Amino acid sequence: MNVTGIEQGSYFLGRLSSVLGGRDLLPYLGELHASPLPRRFEEIVADEPAFETKRFTSIWQLRLYRVWVYCLVRALRPAVFVETGVLHGMTSAFVLEAMRVNGRGRLISIDLPSYAETGPANRDGYTGTLPPGREPGWLVPEELRGRWELHLGASLDLLPGILDGLDRLDVFLHDSDHTYETMRGEFELAWPKLAEGGALIADDSTDNTAFAELCERVGRTPLLFPNPNEQLHDEARCGLILK
Ligand SMILES: C[S@@+](CC[C@H](N)C(=O)[O-])C[C@H]1O[C@@H](n2cnc3c(N)ncnc32)[C@H](O)[C@@H]1O
């Protein structure tokens, strides 16, 4: 990542810090930099020809989205985190690593699998699939799975039962099917269950109007993060609101 990318990353982490009441996120960046996670990813993908990786020499080479999700989990210390859309499990692994350091938390993930053999489950034009023979979340290191529950199926089918069975919900992250119908349906189910001070995150928040409508309906101004890449972007992509 170039200098502008680092500046952009710092800027958005600064914005996240203000949203979280001025909490200092720098220690979390330091510990993530020293964390075993990138090396574990490299070991896990070493025998996967369909999956390319590289050596990570700096925290700024990790996807900004995952870095700030890690910081958010460290700062909020959620007891229960629900995510939709897992695929390889890269984001799930960052959440679980933050929970390991927190010493608390449970991640419940829902994924309608996009197997290489059957093709993408998404109806939004996203074409990513798992490598042949792999299951959703295959990248999640074994030692992080103790806090993880993975449910396979469509989010709108599974979420009502899963949310009903929870005492509380501290973070909800949408990254499954980015159609208006799925996004609106997930937000309508998750927002009422979310605890005061809890966070709702939407990846691809600007694909349609579902996230903007939620923000308007619940009276929240979202923190919008750019499309994470190696160049400077002015296009918003991930959205975050606190309840
Ligand atoms: C963009 S990928 C998720 C990437 C992951 N969140 C990450 O950052 O590492 C989208 C995932 O959602 C799954 N998916 C598609 N439609 C779904 C649905 N209706 N319910 C749940 N998962 C779905 C896809 O199979 C795919 O695994």
Round to whole Å and give the CA distance between 102 and 72: 11
Residue 146 has φ and ψ, to the nearest 5°, of -60, -30
Percent of the chain exceeding pLDDT 90 equals 71
Instruction: Assign residue 14 the CATH number of its domain.
Output: 3.40.50.150
Tell me the two tokens of residue 231.
């160049």
Does this model's pTM top 0.75? My answer is: yes
pLDDT surpassing 60 at residue 178:
yes
Which atom belonging to ligand 1 lies closest to the Cα atom of 176? Answer: 12
For the segment 19-31, what is each residue's pLDDT rounded down to a tens digit? 999 999 989 988 9
* Residue 233 CB coordination number (10 Å): 15
| Rounded Cα distance, 31 and 59, in Å | 10
Look up tokens 């005492």; give the residue: 167
Q: Which residue did the predictor score with more confidence, 39 or 145?
A: 145
The pairing of beta strand 106-111 with beta strand 80-84: parallel
Q: How many domains does the chain have?
A: 1
Residues 198-239: tens digit of each pLDDT: 999 999 888 899 999 999 999 999 998 876 554 555 566 889
Residue 174 bridge partners (DSSP): 84, 202
* Candidate from 65, 86, 203 with most ligand 1 atoms within 8 A of CB, to mutate: 86
8 A C-beta contact, residue 138 and residue 130: yes
**Mind listing the pLDDT tens digit for each residue in 32-74?**
988 999 889 888 988 888 877 666 677 776 778 888 899 999 9
State the residue range of the domain holding 18: 3-242
Give the residue whose CA is nearest to atom 8 of ligand 1. Answer: 91
Would the CB of 224 count as within 6 Å of ligand 1? no
Q: Residue 54 CA to chain centroid, in angstroms? A: 21
Phi/psi region, residue 33 (left: phi>0; alpha: psi -120 to 50; beta: rest), is: alpha
Question: How far apart are the C-alpha atoms of 96 and 238, rounded to whole Å?
Answer: 20
Q: Assign 1 a pLDDT band (cuts: 50, 70, 90).
A: very low
